[in-house]
Structure 1
Amino acid sequence: MAAFLHFLLLLCSFAYNFNTSQSKHTHPQQKGAIFHVTKDLSTLQYVTQIHHGTPLQPTNLVIDLGGPFLWLGCASDSGSSSSRTLISHSSIKCLSANPNTLKSKSSKCETFPQNRITQMATQGDLAEDIIALPFVNVSKTTVDSLFLFSCAPKLLLKGLASGARGMLGLGRSRVSVASQIAAAFGSKPQFILCLSSSNGVVLHDNGEYGSYFVSGVSDSLTYTPLVTKVDSPHEYFINLKSIRVNGKQLSLNYKEGLGGIKLSTVVPYSTMESSVYSVFVKAYEQAAVAMNMTRVDSVAPFGLCFGSKNIDGIRVGSRAPVVDLGLQSEMVKWRIHGRNSMVQVSDEVMCLGFLDGGLEQKTSIVLGAHQLEDTPLHFDLGASMLGFSYSTLMDQNTCTDLGLGFGFKDSM
């Protein structure tokens, strides 16, 4: 029975992807769908805008890299769009969104959207409506297509950036925005995320990324495998083999189940499991003092702060210890310079942007949004690989440059 159900899920998934991809022949050849992203400075969340419904309405959404789908706070205004339809629990689309739907006794397709900033979750209804996607091509047109999303109670909006009406999930699921774009337009299941302290982008391309990158960035990408976690299959994890501070490897005894890195856009600053954090902070302070940095009183929520008045700046941020995260091997490392490791909290103080995540944190490191800024990330879902590069800063470019290069619009 279990084997048959697994086969049925695969068959339904194929049928759903086949059906949604039929519309691609009615659209002009597109080179890439793009979402412009701004940083909300009061919440440190990253916000994009979509246009959806009939008539089309501009709607701000918080980017959630690991979110399994798009959800909107819309349960009480179901009549606002004439093209919105609720999905039946017995449909193929429902089965694609919720493999446990066969157990439901409701006529509607139940989903369970989560505000992953406040950790609040509730029940929602799977719906479908038109979304107008802005595409990168010579005509700069938008393309309307039907997308699945969860209609959630508006109470779930609490804690989101002002004006945001939901969250745009880019996770590893069949109904994430990334997967739906790939299915609808017959493109490869992949996207580029480039966050910035001002104007960034999320780019869904047909595979010809080289023409869209700032010159030289696409050729400098380093790739590492994406790791699947059974308890969080829709989130993005990579391996962690070692941590070095200014070239010195830390002596860490990972607990069972630790050793990985999770990437997150809803966590503002990186967090570490307590046993890892204590060793890391000690090593970082020693390396900083050796560089003539002066420790000062901590500024919440940060645990380690330094005076910044006399610290010289460099192209990759303040002159501070370099952190190297060794991934699947010592040859593949994610290097974090001062721009991404330190946070300027005042004119005279900067703090280490890594926080104690507690003993219950399930992975060694949650790499937060501040550490991801100005780092082009290529999520190749088909190959289950992540490409990353810090060369934008080395070349005096930022993700803002990439956003402006795509004609960033201040419409939000």
Structure 2
Amino acid sequence: MPLLLQLTLIIVVAFLSHGHESIAQYVPSYTSAVVPVNKHNDAVIPLYSAAITATYINTQTLKANFLIDIDAPFNWHDCILQWNIYPDGCPANTPCTYPVSCEEYVCTDVRTTHTYENPTCPPVTNDSTLPGWGYCTCPVTVVDPVMGSCGQALLDYDEFIMKTSNGRNVFTSTYSVYPNAACAPSWSFESFPTNVSGVMALSTSPHALPAYLFQPIKRSIALCLPSTVSAPGVLFFGTGPYYLLPQSDLDVTSLLSYTPLIKHPDSFGYFIGVNAIVIKKRSIDVLGNASTKLSTIDPYTTLRTDIYKWVIRRFSMVTKRIPPSKSIAPFGLCFSTFSNVSLKVPDIDFSLQDGKKWSISTANSIKQVTNDVSCLAFVDGGATTELPIVIGTFQFEDNFLVFDLENSSFGFSSSLLRKHTSCANFNFTLISSH
């Protein structure tokens, strides 16, 4: 082989090797996507939303607030479908998206397998088309998570945009996901908090938002609900690290315990196994089905009547020095308190199937209802309820929670207040990524 050709081949091989090595060594500066979480007290129950950017088809963007629902099968929001949209073709302040045809597989899949389960909802039909398109659209059933009422929306191809993060800072660079969502009319959101115009599905459904995450972000979500309306909490898509001020050198993942997620038939939600509720060393066993549901819609933990009665009895005994008060619905045990005086009560521990313990401290067990009355924030779910326990959002606040779909596990921190931080302490100041 001529010397010149040999040298040329050596240079080419060296160049290619260096290129492959550079690609292999490339590590993105972000590990997650991040959005702020807001608490709302202006609906019939306290609710929480995530602020996310939805795109117009004509490349403009609009930020909207989506109700967080870890049980919903797919995302849906206030938008309209348009076909062949040209610049300025989309109405002002209205997200416009491309339609899914009723003839496409995804339409059948969402309707028949990954939809809302509600026998009272009427069936959907394929009787609508878009002007200038000529194909049938794909109506799907949606259920208002606040009121439980049925509605219809049109399945679409959507795009949601989030900021990236390394768990400590928020970068100016963005991360986009392209879910099949659905467009619902504006009146569908009348029961929602003010300025909340969508539902963000964070369930295990293949059409919920976590299913559309792609490398380098993994299928895991970390949720930290704020206890106040004055400052946002945080929602991460992807694995840690996660840092909260003022302890910017402490990765919150070091505070987490993990327990397996349990699959439940006919539900895309999240369930864990609770064997007992322990109050000051006295155990109240959960007989029969130990599957406990986690909910971002139910405001307080709901207990089956037989469990609830024992919890009330035991908690009354360990707090007998606190003056009782007439109960205020929906609570069954209340105490007389004075303004600016907070109660200190024993922890309520969920004893989990794998031996772990999730401690519910005073901040997550006692609700200040009026200036003079505080109540145990657990409610009676009835004697015939399917599930013995549903853990609600009051018990989530200022707890760091991880739903790891990759490993089918649930991570929990117990109250961050004991670590001198809270869900409102993530630094949302933007910086440039490298």
Q: Do the aligned residues in 1 keep the contact of 2:336 with 2:374 (CA within 8 Å)?
A: yes
Corresponding residue pairs, total: 365
Aligned pair in 2 of structure 1 residues 267, 96: CA closer, same or farther (>3 Å)? same
Structure 2 equivalent of residue 64 of structure 1: 69
Q: Do the aligned residues in 1 keep the contact of 2:204 with 2:269 (CA within 8 Å)?
A: yes
Q: Deviations over 1:111-155 (max 9, x none)?
A: 222211111122322111332222225742234443321122434
Equivalences for residues 297-312 of structure 1 within 5 A? 297-309=326-338
Identical-pair percentage: 27
| Correspondence 1:197 to 2:227 | yes
CA distance in 2, matches of 1:130, 1:397: 34
Equivalences for residues 325-404 of structure 1 within 5 A? 325-329=350-354, 331-390=355-414, 392-402=416-426
| Correspondence 1:221 to 2:256 | yes
Q: Secondary structure at the match of 2:261?
A: strand
Q: Secondary structure at the match of 2:264?
A: coil
Counterpart code for 2:205: S
Counterpart code for 1:188: K
| Structure 1 residue 82: Cα displacement | 7.9
Aligned pair in 2 of structure 1 residues 165, 105: CA closer, same or farther (>3 Å)? closer
CA distance in 1, matches of 2:259, 2:101: 39
Structure 2 equivalent of residue 18 of structure 1: none
Instruction: Identify which of 114, 123, 131 aligns with 2:160.
Output: 131
Aligned pair in 2 of structure 1 residues 136, 212: CA closer, same or farther (>3 Å)? farther
Instruction: Identify which of 313, 321, 324 aligns with 2:346.
Output: 321
Q: Secondary structure at the match of 2:319?
A: helix
Structure 2 equivalent of residue 20 of structure 1: none
Structure 2 equivalent of residue 5 of structure 1: none
Aligned pair in 2 of structure 1 residues 347, 121: CA closer, same or farther (>3 Å)? same
| Structure 1 residue 91: Cα displacement | 2.8
Q: Do the aligned residues in 2 keep the contact of 1:120 with 1:156 (CA within 8 Å)?
A: no
Instruction: Identify which of 59, 77, 101 aligns with 1:88.
Output: 101
Q: Deviations over 1:187-223 (max 9, x none)?
A: 2110100011132111012x34256795153112111
Structure 2 equivalent of residue 31 of structure 1: 31
CA distance in 1, matches of 2:334, 2:411: 31
| Structure 1 residue 309: Cα displacement | 2.9
Aligned pair in 2 of structure 1 residues 387, 100: CA closer, same or farther (>3 Å)? closer
| Structure 1 residue 172: Cα displacement | 0.7
CA distance in 1, matches of 2:142, 2:372: 42
| Structure 1 residue 361: Cα displacement | 2.2
Aligned pair in 2 of structure 1 residues 96, 135: CA closer, same or farther (>3 Å)? farther
Instruction: Identify which of 221, 244, 249 aligns with 2:283.
Output: 249
CA distance in 1, matches of 2:243, 2:337: 39
> 5+ residue gaps in structure 1?
1-27
CA distance in 2, matches of 1:364, 1:100: 26
| Structure 1 residue 251: Cα displacement | 5.0
Structure 1 equivalent of residue 129 of structure 2: none
Structure 2 equivalent of residue 174 of structure 1: 206
Counterpart code for 2:217: S
Question: TM-score, normalized by length of structure 2?
Answer: 0.77
Q: Deviations over 1:205-243 (max 9, x none)?
A: 2x34256795153112111111111121x1011001111
State which drifts further: 371-380 or 275-284. Answer: 275-284
| Correspondence 1:296 to 2:320 | no
Instruction: Identify which of 240, 248, 272 aligns with 1:238.
Output: 272
| Structure 1 residue 325: Cα displacement | 0.8
| Structure 1 residue 275: Cα displacement | 1.9
Aligned pair in 2 of structure 1 residues 148, 212: CA closer, same or farther (>3 Å)? farther
Structure 2 equivalent of residue 14 of structure 1: none
Structure 2 equivalent of residue 407 of structure 1: 429
Q: Do the aligned residues in 1 keep the contact of 2:279 with 2:348 (CA within 8 Å)?
A: yes
Q: Deviations over 1:6-59 (max 9, x none)?
A: xxxxxxxxxxxxxxxxxxxxxx76432111011112231112222212221221
Q: Secondary structure at the match of 1:89?
A: coil
Q: Which of structures 1 and 2 has the bigger CA Rg?
A: 2
Q: Secondary structure at the match of 1:319?
A: coil
Structure 1 equivalent of residue 25 of structure 2: none
| Structure 1 residue 250: Cα displacement | 1.8
Q: Secondary structure at the match of 2:172?
A: coil
Q: Do the aligned residues in 2 keep the contact of 1:117 with 1:267 (CA within 8 Å)?
A: no
Q: Do the aligned residues in 1 keep the contact of 2:275 with 2:285 (CA within 8 Å)?
A: no
Aligned pair in 2 of structure 1 residues 141, 111: CA closer, same or farther (>3 Å)? same
CA distance in 2, matches of 1:147, 1:108: 17
Q: Secondary structure at the match of 1:394?
A: helix
